[in-house]
Structure 1
Amino acid sequence: MKQIRAIIQPEKLSEVRDALEKLGCYRGATISDIMGQGTQRGITQAWRGEKFQLDLLPKVSIDLVVRDEDVDTILRAIVESARTGEIGDGKIFVYDVEQVIRIRTGEMNEAAL
């Protein structure tokens, strides 16, 4: 099993969720509003003639735990639906998951997904 964590632009969340729903190979996701900076290092904006630097930009984090055989399909769907071609599109991280337990039933690993 793998955990996929995608950091994307907030305005792309609906498109990514729609793409994942069409796949039908995951059971749920945790979605969080986050702030961060990467290569972009923030943006400079002006308000009432004053310039100021926004170092941390709003992003959305999507966390999924999926079967190993579904990882490539899910990654492709996220990349295709989240990409704008501009700096700040985000990143995807893939981690190994050793064990999953569904608290309500006690099911373990893939049965708990």
Structure 2
Amino acid sequence: MKEIRAYIQPHKLSQTTLALIKIPGFPGMTVSDCEGFGRERTEHNQDYKPYISKKRIEIFAPDNLVDIIFDTLMKVAHSGHHGDGKVYVIDAEKGGRISSGEIAVDLG
């Protein structure tokens, strides 16, 4: 199992969600608001704040879905503009379903 973590432009969230839920067996996702900065910077002014708003998507997926989810995020969240975001794939060693007490490597 892997965690796929993506930081995308807020205006791309609806289109990205629609594309992801079309993937057979898609396990679901968590979305949260976040701010940060990378190489891109906002203009300097009196109230300088370098942070740019993004949407953070977290998906825990079985290994057989990781590539299609990753590829979908890379394609659909792309606008062609600087600052489109990032996608990471991270190993997830273990997970548990709180409601049932189930502990497993793949909780899909």
TM-score norm. by structure 1 comes to 0.86
Q: For residue 24 of structure 1, what is the aligned residue in structure 2?
A: 24
Larger Rg: 1
Matched, 1:75 2:70: yes
CA 1:111–1:70: 2 relative to 1, 3 Å:
closer
Percent identical? 37
CA 1:95–1:33: 2 relative to 1, 3 Å:
same
Give the drift of 1:109.
2.2
Distance in 1, matches of 2:3 and 2:73, equals 14
Corresponding residue pairs, total: 108
For structure 2, which runs of at least 5 residues remain unmatched after alignment? Answer: none
Q: For residue 103 of structure 1, what is the aligned residue in structure 2?
A: 98
Structure with more of its chain in helix, by fraction:
1
TM-score norm. by structure 2 comes to 0.90
Distance in 2, matches of 1:36 and 1:111, equals 31
The answer (yes or no) to whether the contact 2:20–2:69 under 8 Å persists in 1 is yes
Equivalent position SS for 1:76: helix
- Listed as ranges, the matches of 1:81-96 within 5 Å are 81-96=76-91
Give the drift of 1:27.
2.0
The answer (yes or no) to whether the contact 1:10–1:60 under 8 Å persists in 2 is yes
Give the drift of 1:28.
1.7
Distance in 1, matches of 2:106 and 2:85, equals 31
Runs of 4+ in 1 over 6 A off after TM superposition: none
Q: Name the amino acid aligned to 1:57.
A: I
CA offset digits 1:7-62 (Å, max 9, x no partner): 00000000110010111332221101000001112x228xxxx7764410100000
The answer (yes or no) to whether the contact 1:44–1:51 under 8 Å persists in 2 is no
CA offset digits 1:64-84 (Å, max 9, x no partner): 000011111001111111001
- Listed as ranges, the matches of 1:38-53 within 5 Å are 38-41=38-41, 43-44=42-43, 53=48
